Amino acid sequence: MTLTAILEDIADEFRDVSERGVVANYIPPLACVDPTKFGMAVVEADGQIHTVGDADEAFSIQSISKIFGLTLALDAIGDALWTRVRQEPSGSAFNSIVQLESEYGIPRNPFINAGALVVSDVLVSHYGVQEAQQKILDLVRPLTRDAKNIVIDRNVALQEKETGFRNAALVNYMRTYNNIENPIEKTLELYFHQCALTMSCHQLAEVGAYLMTGSWNPITGRQVTSTLHARTIMALMMMCGHYDASGSFAIRVGLPGKSGVGGGILAIAPGVASVAVWSPGLNEYGNSLLGTRALERLVQRTGWSVF
Kindly list the catalytic residues: 63, 66, 191, 243, 261
19 DSSP assignment? -
Segment lying near ligand DON (by CB under 6 A), choices 33-41, 216-224, 258-266, 294-302: 258-266
Closest to 177 in 3D by CA, of 125, 117, 226, 254: 117
220 DSSP assignment? T
- Among residues 51, 63, 200, 246, the one that binds ligand DON under rule CB under 6 A: 63
Using only the alpha carbons of the chain, give its radius of gyration. 18
Entry field: residues in the chain: 307
State whether the Cα torsion 92-93-95-98 is positive or negative: negative
Least CB distance from residue 219 to ligand DON, whole Å?
Answer: 26
Least CB distance from residue 9 to ligand DON, whole Å?
Answer: 27
Residues 6+ apart with CB under 8 A from 117: 107, 167, 170, 171, 174, 180, 187, 188, 191
- Identify which of residues 7 and 268 has a Cβ nearer to ligand DON in the complex: 268
State whether the Cα torsion 108-105-114-117 is positive or negative: negative
- Among residues 51, 62, 203, 274, the one that binds ligand DON under rule CB under 6 A: 62
- How many angstroms separate the first and last alpha carbons of the chain? 23
Q: What is the largest CA-CA distance in the chain?
A: 57
Nearest residue to ligand DON by CB is 63
Q: Are 302 and 6 in contact (CB under 8 A)?
A: yes
**What's the rounded Cα separation, in Å, for the pair 207 and 139?**
9
Q: Residues 192 to 251: which contact ligand DON by CB under 6 A?
A: 195
**Stretch 137-176: interaction string toward ligand DON, x if CB under 6 A:** -----------------------x------x---------
Residues 6+ apart with CB under 8 A from 299: 253, 254, 255, 305
The answer to whether 94 contacts ligand DON (rule: CB under 6 A) is: yes
Least CB distance from residue 59 to ligand DON, whole Å?
Answer: 12
Is 288 annotated in some ligand binding site?
A: no
Segment lying near ligand DON (by CB under 6 A), choices 138-146, 176-184, 256-264, 292-300: 256-264
Closest to 1 in 3D by CA, of 10, 254, 15: 10
Complete DSSP assignment for 118-158: HHHHHHHHHH-HHHHHHHHHHHHGGGSS--TT-EE-HHHHH
Is 178 annotated in some ligand binding site?
A: no
- Identify which of residues 62 and 292 has a Cβ nearer to ligand DON in the complex: 62
The answer to whether 292 contacts ligand DON (rule: CB under 6 A) is: no
176 DSSP assignment? T
- Among residues 36, 87, 92, 95, the one that binds ligand DON under rule CB under 6 A: 95
- Among residues 71, 99, 109, 113, the one that binds ligand DON under rule CB under 6 A: 113
Is 243 annotated in some ligand binding site?
A: yes
- Among residues 286, 289, 293, 296, the one that binds ligand DON under rule CB under 6 A: 286
Segment lying near ligand DON (by CB under 6 A), choices 73-81, 181-189, 208-216, 259-267: 259-267
Least CB distance from residue 74 to ligand DON, whole Å?
Answer: 20
Binding site feature residues for substrate: 63, 113, 160, 167, 191, 243, 261
Q: Which residues bind ligand DON (CB under 6 A)?
A: 62-63, 94-95, 113, 160, 167, 195, 259-261, 286-287
